[in-house]
């Protein structure tokens, strides 16, 4: 098993190729990594170099638009779940200082007849000035949604569920593709950072390579470890929903994006994570086979929708 800086590196093709030995090795390596540190780097993830390059170009162009233009796409009653969210609006749970970022969110494109009222999503916001921004965002969203579904199949097997256990919950789920801009730092930020220490809300997060270093993960020894994936890889980590479901068997690891050294304050940083969320009616009730004498039940019953609503309030978006 290869390693990038700080986290194991895996090949998704080992799981999907049909080779039973490689498939089982992938499942075990993925599960062990998610028990140990909660992060892996993944190759053969489905995103082409051309798509990543085109999307980043579109994202950089959008954030360079005048503030008055970007503000047209800020829809306050959507709690940041679609369109543009201005600089400093979001903060980490337990903090009042806003993160040094602005962002855009693409949401679900598909619908299904079994949707509940809670899963009738708002429309995606179209950027009139950049039609390719919408097209590339949709293509990346749907590619990463499929990749995430494969990762969840491997995890389902690892934790003793049917391989397709998660499929019905993530199909037409409430997933989000977030394009983030961390602008140049113009003055001493005090205690504000680009993204304060936090855990992700969702099942898993898939992150295509950011435009600059800065991502750090808190390991079991309490040390912050820089995470750098190889150019052809994405970073995939466990979110709080999956940690809750597995009674802390799989780890939603604390991570952050630190400010760069002062000599690099003038550089922007761009990042595009995909937050894979299930439908709102998915129960996050602790799985029976994850409760043991040494690990008693840690969480009360809750649905994914109720949990998301609770967390959006805690980070200042609702």
CA distance 11 to 21: 13
Q: What global pTM score does this model have?
A: 0.89
Per-residue pLDDT of 185-199, as tens digits, reads 776 767 676 677 888
In this structure, what are the phi and psi dihedrals at residue 59, rounded to the nearest 5 degrees?
A: -65, -45
Residue 3 pLDDT > 60, yes or no? no
- Once rounded to an integer, what is the mean pLDDT over residues 112-136? 83
Domains in the chain with CATH codes: 2-314 (2.60.120.330)
Per-residue pLDDT of 39-95, as tens digits, reads 899 999 999 999 999 999 999 999 999 999 999 999 988 877 899 999 877 665 666
Tell me the Cα Rg of the chain.
19
Per-residue pLDDT of 214-254, as tens digits, reads 788 888 888 888 887 667 899 999 999 999 999 999 999 88
Q: 10-18: which pairs have CB atoms within 8 A and are 24 or more residues apart?
A: 10/40, 10/41, 10/42, 10/43, 11/42, 11/43, 11/44, 12/42, 12/43, 12/44, 12/45, 12/46, 12/147, 12/150, 12/151, 13/43, 13/44, 15/150, 15/153, 15/154, 16/150
């Amino acid at each position: 098993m290869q390693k990038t800086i700080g986290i194991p590196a895996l090949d998704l093709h080992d799981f999907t190729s049909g080779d039973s030995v490689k498939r089982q090795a992938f499942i075990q390596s993925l599960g062990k990594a998610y028990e140990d540190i909660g992060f892996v780097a993944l190759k053969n993830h489905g995103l082409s170099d051309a798509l990543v390059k085109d999307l980043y170009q579109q994202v950089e162009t959008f954030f360079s638009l005048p503030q008055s233009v970007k503000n047209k796409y800020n829809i306050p009653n959507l709690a940041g779940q679609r369109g543009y969210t201005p600089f400093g609006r979001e903060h980490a749970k337990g903090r009042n200082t806003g993160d040094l970022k602005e962002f855009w969110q693409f949401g679900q494109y598909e619908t299904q007849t079994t949707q509940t009222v809670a899963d009738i999503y708002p429309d995606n916001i179209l950027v009139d000035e950049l039609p390719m921004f919408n097209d590339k965002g949709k293509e990346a969203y749907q590619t990463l949604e499929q990749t995430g579904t494969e990762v969840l199949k491997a995890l389902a097997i690892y934790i003793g569920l049917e391989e397709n256990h998660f499929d019905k919950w993530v199909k037409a789920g409430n997933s989000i593709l977030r394009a983030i801009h961390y602008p140049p730092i113009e003055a001493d930020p005090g205690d504000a950072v680009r993204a304060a220490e936090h855990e992700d809300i969702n099942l898993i997060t898939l992150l295509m390579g950011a435009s600059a270093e800065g991502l750090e993960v808190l390991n079991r020894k309490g040390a912050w470890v820089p995470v750098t994936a190889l150019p052809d890889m994405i970073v995939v980590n466990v979110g709080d929903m999956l940690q809750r479901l597995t009674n802390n068997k799989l780890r939603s690891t604390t991570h952050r994006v630190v400010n760069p050294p002062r000599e690099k304050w003038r550089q922007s940083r761009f990042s595009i994570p995909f937050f894979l969320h299930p439908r709102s009616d998915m129960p996050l009730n602790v799985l029976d086979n994850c409760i043991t004498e040494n690990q008693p039940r840690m969480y009360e019953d809750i649905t994914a929708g109720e949990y998301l609503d609770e967390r959006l309030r805690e980070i200042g978006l609702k």
